[in-house]
């Protein structure tokens, strides 16, 4: 195992929300978006961070880059603190429509980071922009285009080129392929794999789709209500998931095979509100585990090693389901 390029320890981010329309005199509520998340990613590897809406995965992404300031915890990349290294950490967002400035050409979008970080100007910038476009599979003539002239897949390639323009080591991909059609999604996933190899990039790949993550991640962490409930090498997680939430998630994904004989675990109810998460194990009200008992309602299971390098936060992770 190579040394960790990125190390996140005990990340906490709570958001205060005002109550109601008229805010005076009402108690504030706390949304526990991220509640003590730790992980490390080795250089040149990919950690897949998965979970459903509201589980806190995007807040983890933004806190890791300090696009929002975490309440507690540390984020370190190598020996130096991360903030000075913003140039070396970049992010690609989900929405290729919302994340590009509609009034800027692709050239302007790509030239800006080069200028801000004093990497290149003039003819050198022009040369770099052409090379970047080519690297993400776009013809250099796209430099003159505005975002509305591009398809979703092309826009996402521009978003990737912009992230790469400052030569980062670490890239956060926040639902970067989720909005794309299947055939385009496959193209962009292959591009990301190629870029990782060529530039030895380290990825934090955030997605709700476990099938997509399976193709790109070396390690996978599953989040539920602000906490990581399972963290394992990808092969182990998909073959032998230990947390009942991971097991249910995997079983719920529709498989493009009409003859598949699968036991679909349908979880009851919705994800509870992160304003008032259930006590003990956050998952206990929906948990289908046959061994579930009073302990789950009282005691929060900690993330513990249940098999070599395989961590799960469940009192009954060793028991069959």
Tokens 């529709």, residue? 254
Site residues for other proteins per CB under 8 A: 52-53, 151-154, 181-187, 189-190, 193, 196-197, 208-212, 214-216, 218, 234-235, 238-239, 248-250, 252-260, 264, 266-267, 269-271
Question: For residues 91 and 144, what is the distance between their CA atoms, to the nearest angstrom?
Answer: 23
Instruction: Choose between 87 and 208: whose C-beta lies nearer to other proteins.
Output: 208
Is residue 21 within 8 A of residue 61, CB to CB? The reply is no
Q: Which residue has the tokens 């046959």?
A: 290
**CA-to-CA distance for 7 and 239, rounded, in angstroms?**
26
Within 10 Å of residue 301's Cβ, how many Cβ atoms?
A: 21
Between CA 120 and CA 214 the distance in angstroms is 37
Residue 66, both tokens: 């300090």
Q: Is the CB of residue 202 less than 8 Å from the CB of residue 5?
A: yes
Q: 303 is written with which tokens?
A: 């993330």
Q: How far apart are CA 158 and CA 164, in angstroms?
A: 10
Alpha carbon 319 to its chain centroid, in Å, reads 29
H-only helix segments in 217-314: 234-239, 244-252, 294-298
Distance (Å, whole) CA 94 – CA 177? 7
The contacts found for 13-18 with CB under 8 angstroms, 24 or more apart, are 13/56, 13/59, 13/63, 13/68, 13/70, 13/71, 14/71, 17/275
């Amino acid at each position: 195992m190579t040394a960790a390029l990125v190390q996140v320890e005990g990340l906490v981010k709570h958001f205060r929300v005002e109550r109601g329309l008229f805010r005076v005199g009402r108690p504030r509520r706390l949304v526990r978006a991220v509640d003590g998340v730790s992980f490390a990613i080795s250089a040149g590897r990919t950690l897949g961070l998965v979970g459903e809406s509201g589980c806190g995965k995007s807040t983890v992404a933004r806190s890791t880059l300090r696009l929002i300031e975490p309440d507690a915890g540390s984020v370190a990349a190598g020996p130096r603190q991360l903030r000075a290294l913003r140039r070396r950490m970049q992010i690609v967002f989900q929405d290729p429509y919302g994340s590009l400035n509609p009034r800027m050409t692709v050239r302007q979008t790509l030239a800006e980071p080069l200028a801000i970080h004093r990497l290149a100007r003039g003819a050198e910038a022009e040369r770099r922009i052409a090379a970047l476009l080519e690297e993400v599979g776009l013809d250099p003539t796209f430099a003159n285009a505005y975002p509305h002239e591009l398809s979703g897949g092309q826009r996402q390639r521009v978003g990737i080129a912009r992230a790469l323009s400052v030569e980062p080591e670490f890239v956060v991909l926040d639902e970067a392929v989720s909005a794309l059609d299947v055939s385009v999604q496959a193209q962009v996933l292959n591009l990301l794999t190629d870029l990782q190899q060529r530039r030895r990039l380290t990825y934090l790949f955030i997605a709700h789709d476990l099938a997509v993550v399976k193709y790109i991640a070396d390690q996978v962490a599953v989040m539920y209500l602000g906490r990581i409930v399972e963290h394992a090498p990808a092969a182990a997680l998909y073959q032998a998931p230990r947390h009942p939430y991971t097991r249910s998630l995997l079983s719920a994904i529709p498989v493009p095979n009409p003859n598949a004989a699968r036991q679909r675990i349908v979880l009851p109810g919705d994800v509870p509100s992160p304003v008032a998460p259930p006590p003990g194990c956050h998952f206990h009200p929906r948990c289908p585990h046959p061994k579930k008992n009073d302990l789950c309602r009282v005691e929060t299971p900690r993330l513990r090693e249940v098999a070599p390098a395989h961590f799960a936060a469940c009192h009954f992770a060793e028991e069959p389901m």
